[in-house]
Structure 1
Amino acid sequence: MTTYVVTIPGTLLAERTEASTETLQRALRPADPRGTRLGEEEHLEMLTFYSGSSAFSIRLEVEADDTESAERQARETVGAALRTAGYSQDEAPLGDAVITGITE
């Protein structure tokens, strides 16, 4: 197994509250990339909202056999976390997953 850092962009089309953001961060915490060697060196933030917009990116650490599996697992994790925070798929569409780091 290989450790991948996967970045997934998205846009919130519903209202973002402090409570929903905290819930989202808690739901994503097990996949926080700051626990990896790459994440520590690069000071990666798990959840970034871009100022003045509803656009965001989420960086996750996943263990997988290949990049396709890593991207799929990351999308599933992000989708589940967004649902936990109260956002439907229509309220938080996601862009393409991108592998932004690999450690073995």
Structure 2
Amino acid sequence: MTYYLASVPVDFTKEPTGAELSDLNDALAPYDPRGSRGSLSWRRDDAGNVTFNLVVETADDREAKSKARETLTAALFANGRRNVTATVRAEDDIEIIPWK
């Protein structure tokens, strides 16, 4: 098994609040590549696209994309986000690189 850093883009139809991002932080903390529980590992580009970073352990990069997508989708659902307001993009849009 190999660890992979996954950069997973998410489309929000409504801007997430600070409380919602805090809830996502708690749900994704075990997957934070920095091992930090204090701040969410995400970024927003100039176009407003939000991408979350998490680490997954899988046999290969193809499986890593699938697991990263499933993990982030589960975190969004666990925190009240439904496909109406947040959608994890397709596996083709997820970037994967080996981690440590």
**Correspondence list, 1:45-84, <5 A:** 46-50=41-45, 53=48, 55-84=49-78
Q: Deviations over 1:25-53 (max 9, x none)?
A: 11010000113xxxxxxxxx622234673
Q: How many residues align?
A: 93
- The runs of 5 or more residues in structure 2 that have no matched partner are none
Which residue number corresponds to residue 18 of structure 1? Answer: 18
- The runs of 5 or more residues in structure 1 that have no matched partner are 36-44
Identical aligned residues as a percent: 33
Change in CA separation of 1:20 and 1:8 when aligned onto 2, cut-off 3 Å: same
Q: Give the letter aligned to residue 27 of structure 1.
A: A
State how far apart, in whole Å, the 2-side matches of 1:49 and 1:83 are: 21
Q: TM-score, normalised by structure 1?
A: 0.78
Q: After TM superposition, what 4+ stretches of structure 1 lie above 4 angstroms from structure 2?
A: none
Q: TM-score, normalised by structure 2?
A: 0.81
